[in-house]
Structures are given as structure tokens and as C-alpha cells.
Structure 1
Amino acid sequence: MRSASPRSTTSKSPEKRYYPTPALEKGLDILELFASTPEGMTVSEVARRLDRTMS
């Protein structure tokens, strides 16, 4: 029975890449704010608390 040998060192290892996702980050900030404020708030309150525009 053959034992498994380690992979060749010539094969490329997967690189970690960072992809900025500003829309996702904004959405997560809003969801976190909603989770911490169960009584709700207006769009202008959300914008003010997150220091963002209403758009």
C-alpha cells in the first residue's frame, strides 16, 4: 500500500484577495444600527447616526 505523498511545491497556492464592498459595508452598518435600536427610526435619523447621506 502506497502512502500519500505531499503535493508538489511547484503548484501555486491560492492567494487571498481583498475586494472592497462599500455597498455591503453600508448595508451591514445599517443592519447593526437597526438591531441595536428596536424602537425604529426614520431615514434621516439613520443617516445622522451613521454620519452618512440619506441616499
Structure 2
Amino acid sequence: MRSDIVPVLELGAYAAHIPYHMTWAHEQLPYTPEHERFLELECISDILEHLL
């Protein structure tokens, strides 16, 4: 998970993440948080089922 998602969740916002095979080490956290406002998607079109 990218480190920039955690502050978004802490502010009370929703966050979606689409993993990419190359990510800088400093952008990664060693865990994926379980959070009701966090989605991990395979592709951007997957977000439609969560918005509609």
C-alpha cells in the first residue's frame, strides 16, 4: 500500500488504490489496512460498482 493513503483515511475521506508492479520502497507500508473507507482495486473501472 502506498504511504499517501493512510493520511487520507485519517482525515475521514475515502481512498482507492490500484497496485502497480513497480513502487518506490518509501511509498510502501508493510501492511494493507482494513478500513471501511479503503478499496483496493484491480483496475479503475472496478470503482463504478462502489460508486453506483
Q: TM-score range by the shorter chain?
A: under 0.3
The structure that is strand-richer by fraction is 2
What TM-score results when the alignment is normalised by the length of structure 2? 0.25
- Higher-RCO chain (CA-CA 8 Å, sequence separation at least 6): 2
TM-score by length of 1: 0.24
